[in-house]
């Protein structure tokens, strides 16, 4: 079914109000719908009894609430859980839930594939396919909460969202911002802006726009302490080098002294993990209110990199911590189900290949 139906998951509150105005309906109808969908977990218009019968019939006719379809659901031994979701066009994306003692974090994808080509990331190897729609982004949260047992009573297992799945969220700016508004909206998920973290490889102009469009916590994938190395690891650095990136970070947090940027730093054996690199990192971040998140590299097939040894990571962390910077080493979670940082991709890649070979066959058969 569908195609020309209005998928209500594609709009934040403002967008829905505008759509309803086009239908000649009052804006508060949009607000009622938001609550039905996101707070009561209802997608059947017939059940939405505070809407008029006529509106219910109309919506049943022209609208739908359609998140992606779950095609695989895997549990890791460490409690994390990964879903493979199929989109309407057949592409697949991954979403990962990471439970903690005091929170439940969902790692959300923003694009099918990624265009940035970071040399240590498995998503990069599959190339870029397309941006996700709002429904495909917010649908990840809706599905996770449902499958983790949220009911009509409104329990919400997901308390935090990190935009750290597949893709570069700032290169899908409008849809990511609308989805994050739904995460924040009290009529939808009601998460505080501190519980939503957007991670970027450093798309400087969009970092400035983000602060205005939807203020959330910012994480930046730094990974290197000089431009020569960062050019190699995170090629977008050639366009927005470290000095410009850090200036944007300072603008983002402002100078009220309360906010900090989280810098992500992947620990690559023999590449960026020496004591000298740690000291360079300290110098670099002087004057930038920061926290550091060390991520032990997660290997994937055909990678040229290795994970730094645990003692090396500890020594690196100690240099930073001794200088007073809050530094944590991210626990490797879900690697038994290929759900760790930078490992989201495999299934989709294989699917693409299958699709390509189908296409090849059809081309040979002269069908296209």
List, by residue number, the catalytic residues: 94, 341
Q: By CB under 6 A, is residue 294 in contact with ligand SAH?
A: no
Which is nearer to ligand SAH, 45 or 297 (by Cβ)? 297
**Of 146-175, which residues contact ligand SAH (CB under 6 A)?**
164, 168
* DSSP secondary structure, 121-158, as one string: -TGGGG-EEEEPPHHHHHHHHHHHHHHTT--TT---S-
Which secondary-structure segment (H or E) carries 160? strand 160-163
The single residue among 36, 97, 120, 263 that binds ligand SAH, judged by CB under 6 A, is 120
Q: By CB under 6 A, is residue 341 in contact with ligand SAH?
A: yes
Which is nearer to ligand SAH, 64 or 215 (by Cβ)? 215
Q: Are 166 and 93 in contact, with CB atoms under 8 Å apart?
A: yes
CB atoms within 10 A of CB 358: 10
The rounded distance, in Å, linking the Cα atoms of 204 and 210 is 10
Which secondary-structure segment (H or E) carries 99? strand 92-99
The single residue among 138, 210, 295, 325 that binds ligand SAH, judged by CB under 6 A, is 295
The single residue among 7, 76, 135, 298 that binds ligand SAH, judged by CB under 6 A, is 298
Which is nearer to ligand SAH, 140 or 221 (by Cβ)? 221
Per-residue x/- mask for ligand SAH, residues 210 to 229, rule CB under 6 A?
A: -----------x--------
* Least distance from ligand SAH to the Cβ atom of residue 312, Å: 15
Which is nearer to ligand SAH, 11 or 333 (by Cβ)? 333
- Closest by Cα among 341, 300, 349 to 91: 349
The single residue among 94, 264, 273, 338 that binds ligand SAH, judged by CB under 6 A, is 264
Which is nearer to ligand SAH, 53 or 304 (by Cβ)? 304
Which is nearer to ligand SAH, 200 or 352 (by Cβ)? 200
Q: What b/e sequence results for 29-55 when a residue is b if at least 16 CB atoms lie within 10 Å of its CB, and e otherwise?
A: bbbbbbbbbbbebbbebeebeebeeeb
The single residue among 187, 342, 348, 352 that binds ligand SAH, judged by CB under 6 A, is 342
The single residue among 201, 225, 308, 327 that binds ligand SAH, judged by CB under 6 A, is 201
The single residue among 297, 333, 348, 352 that binds ligand SAH, judged by CB under 6 A, is 297
Question: Residue 292: how many CA atoms within 13 Å on its side-chain side?
Answer: 30
- Closest by Cα among 314, 276, 270 to 294: 314
In angstroms, the Cα distances linking 317 to 178, 194, 227, 280, 289 are 36, 24, 22, 13, 17
Burial of 15 (0-12, 13-18, 19+ CB in 10 A): middle
* Least distance from ligand SAH to the Cβ atom of residue 331, Å: 12
The rounded distance, in Å, linking the Cα atoms of 240 and 75 is 38
As a whole number of Å, the end-to-end CA separation of the chain is 25
* Least distance from ligand SAH to the Cβ atom of residue 292, Å: 12
List interacting residues with ligand SAH (CB under 6 A): 118, 120-122, 164, 168, 199-201, 221, 264, 266, 295, 297-298, 341-342
């Amino acid at each position: 079914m569908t195609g020309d139906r209005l998928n209500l998951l594609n709009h934040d509150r403002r967008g829905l109000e505008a759509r309803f105005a086009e239908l000649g309906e009052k804006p508060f109808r949009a607000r009622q719908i938001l609550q039905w969908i996101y707070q009561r977990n209802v997608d059947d218009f017939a059940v939405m009894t505070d809407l008029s019968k006529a509106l219910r019939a109309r919506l049943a006719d022209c609208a739908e609430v359609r998140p992606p379809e779950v095609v695989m659901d895997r549990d890791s031994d460490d409690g994390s859980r990964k879903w493979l979701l199929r989109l309407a066009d057949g592409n697949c994306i991954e979403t990962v839930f990471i439970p903690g003692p005091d929170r439940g974090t969902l790692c959300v994808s923003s694009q099918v594939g990624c265009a940035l080509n970071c040399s240590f990331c498995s998503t990069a190897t599959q190339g870029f396919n397309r941006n996700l729609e709002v429904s495909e982004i917010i649908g990840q949260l809706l599905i996770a909460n449902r499958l983790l047992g949220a009911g009509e009573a409104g329990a919400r297992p997901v308390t935090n969202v990190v935009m750290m799945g597949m893709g570069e969220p700032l290169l899908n700016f409008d849809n990511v911002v609308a989805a994050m508004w739904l995460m924040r909206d009290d009529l939808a998920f009601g998460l505080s802006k501190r519980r939503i973290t957007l991670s970027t490889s450093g798309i400087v102009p969009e970092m400035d726009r983000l602060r205005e469009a939807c203020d959330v916590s910012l994480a930046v994938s730094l990974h290197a302490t000089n431009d020569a190395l960062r050019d190699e690891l995170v090629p977008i650095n050639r366009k927005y080098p470290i000095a410009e990136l850090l200036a944007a970070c300072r603008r983002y947090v402002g100078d009220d002294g309360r906010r900090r940027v989280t810098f992500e730093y992947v620990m690559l054996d023999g590449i960026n993990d020496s004591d000298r690199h740690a000291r360079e990192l300290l110098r670099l971040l002087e004057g930038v209110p920061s926290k550091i998140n060390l991520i032990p590299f997660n290997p994937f097939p055909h990678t040229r990199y290795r994970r730094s040894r645990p003692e090396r990571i500890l020594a690196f962390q100690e240099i930073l911590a001794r200088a007073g910077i809050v530094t944590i080493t991210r626990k490797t979670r879900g690697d038994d189900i290929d759900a760790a940082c930078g490992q989201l991709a495999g299934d989709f890649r294989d699917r693409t290949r299958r699709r390509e070979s189908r296409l090849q066959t059809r081309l040979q058969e002269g069908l296209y």
